[in-house]
Amino acid sequence: MSQNAPTAPTTPSGAAPLLVASGLHKTYGATPALAGADFAIASGEVVAVMGPSGSGKSTLLHCLAGIVPPDGGTVSYAGRDLAGLSDAGRSALRRGDFGFVFQFGQLVPELTCEENVALPLRLTGVGRKEAGARAAEWLGRLEVDDVRHHRPGQISGGQGQRVAVARALVNNPRVLFADEPTGALDSLNGERVMELLVSAARDTGAAVVLVTHESRVAAYSDREVVVRDGRARDMAGAL
Ligand SMILES: Nc1ncnc2c1ncn2[C@@H]1O[C@H](COP(=O)(O)OP(=O)(O)OP(=O)(O)O)[C@@H](O)[C@H]1O
């Protein structure tokens, strides 16, 4: 037997990771998007994924969230290999344990803001009244309760992103994936969305994978990982 028993992986902060990727490879046609990327995040950590355009940041996020299957390497969440789950199992994980915010809120235009935020709860079987009450509470936390009966077309971009953050956090996800969440906002609105996003995530203990190319957005994170040519490098380890 080897003297060197494998040790449990840790994040650079020393905590046990909740979500771990090792040696991820992904190619689109002839275009390599990931070429051996590693990543780990612990519960409650906010990690910024930075890097130039086309370096593989969004692909890394999609693989971590089980949206895109990697060609090689593994992603494990809470000790479970995502590749070992059925499509239905991965979908259930995305609905129950993960939350998502994208650059453009992607709210359902026909629904009011409150109905949009209530939607993830309704999809997991919460009754209409309770879902509405919890949605209203989250809209209050994100300081947009005044637009709860408006439709997405009737509110500003900054308000829309706050509604999107409320929708992403309403079912208490253990991981929040945010891909350029303030990319379409001016700097003042962007900063407020980031403050609210990070403080709400800290209150709930969610880990946050924050893809951004802006250092003032990454400043809200505990740790920065830089993706370059499909490989991820932790900046804590680079110091
Ligand atoms: N669905 C796809 N089909 C084909 N090529 C893709 C696809 N998604 C990503 N790519 C390619 O993979 C590479 C990495 O893309 P990715 O979107 O992950 O980078 P990124 O760092 O998030 O870029 P950006 O900052 O511009 O959003 C790029 O060359 C991109 O063109």
Q: Does residue 230 have its Cβ closer than 6 Å to ligand 1?
A: no
Q: Does residue 213 have its Cβ closer than 6 Å to ligand 1?
A: yes
Interval between CA 20 and ligand 1 midpoint (Å): 21
Q: Taking the mean position of all CA atoms in its chain, how far away is CA 179?
A: 7
> Considering only CA atoms, which residue is closest to atom 4 of ligand 1?
28
**pTM to 2 decimals?**
0.91
Q: Walk me through the domains of the chain, giving residue ranges and CATH numbers.
A: 17-234 (3.40.50.300)
Task: List, in order, residues 6 or more apart from 197 with CB less than 8 Å away.
Answer: 101, 165, 176, 178, 181, 208, 220
CA atoms of 170 and 1, how far apart (whole Å): 48
Pairing of strands 175-179, 231-234: unpaired
- The mean per-residue pLDDT over the stretch 186-214 comes to 92
Interval between CA 156 and ligand 1 midpoint (Å): 28
CA atoms of 88 and 49, how far apart (whole Å): 28
**What's the pLDDT at 5?**
45
- The mean per-residue pLDDT over the stretch 134-158 comes to 95
Q: Does residue 120 have its Cβ closer than 6 Å to ligand 1?
A: no
**What's the pLDDT at 10?**
65
DSSP labels for 209-237?
A: EEE-S-HHHHTTSSEEEEEETTEEEEHHH
Residue with structure tokens 């999809």? 123
Q: Does residue 104 have its Cβ closer than 6 Å to ligand 1?
A: no
Residue with structure tokens 């895109």? 68
Q: Is 196 helix (H, G, I), strand (E, B) or coil?
A: helix
pLDDT tops 70 at residue 9: no
Interval between CA 32 and ligand 1 midpoint (Å): 9
Backbone torsion region of residue 225, taken as left when φ is above 0, otherwise alpha when ψ lies between -120 and 50, otherwise beta: beta
Q: Which two tokens stand for residue 219?
A: 């400043």
- The mean per-residue pLDDT over the stretch 28-45 comes to 94
Q: How confident is the model at residue 236 (pLDDT cuts 50, 70, 90)?
A: low
Q: How confident is the model at residue 184 (pLDDT cuts 50, 70, 90)?
A: confident
- The mean per-residue pLDDT over the stretch 28-32 comes to 92
Q: Does residue 226 have its Cβ closer than 6 Å to ligand 1?
A: no
Give the model confidence (pLDDT) of 76-93 as tens digits.
999 999 999 999 999 989
What's the chain's Rg over C-alpha atoms?
A: 18
**What's the pLDDT at 63?**
96
Q: Does residue 55 have its Cβ closer than 6 Å to ligand 1?
A: yes
Q: Does residue 150 have its Cβ closer than 6 Å to ligand 1?
A: no
DSSP labels for 77-134?
A: ETTEEGGGS-HHHHHHHHHHTEEEE-SS----TTS-HHHHHHHHHHHTT--HHHHHHH
> Considering only CA atoms, which residue is closest to atom 30 of ligand 1?
54
Q: Is 155 helix (H, G, I), strand (E, B) or coil?
A: coil
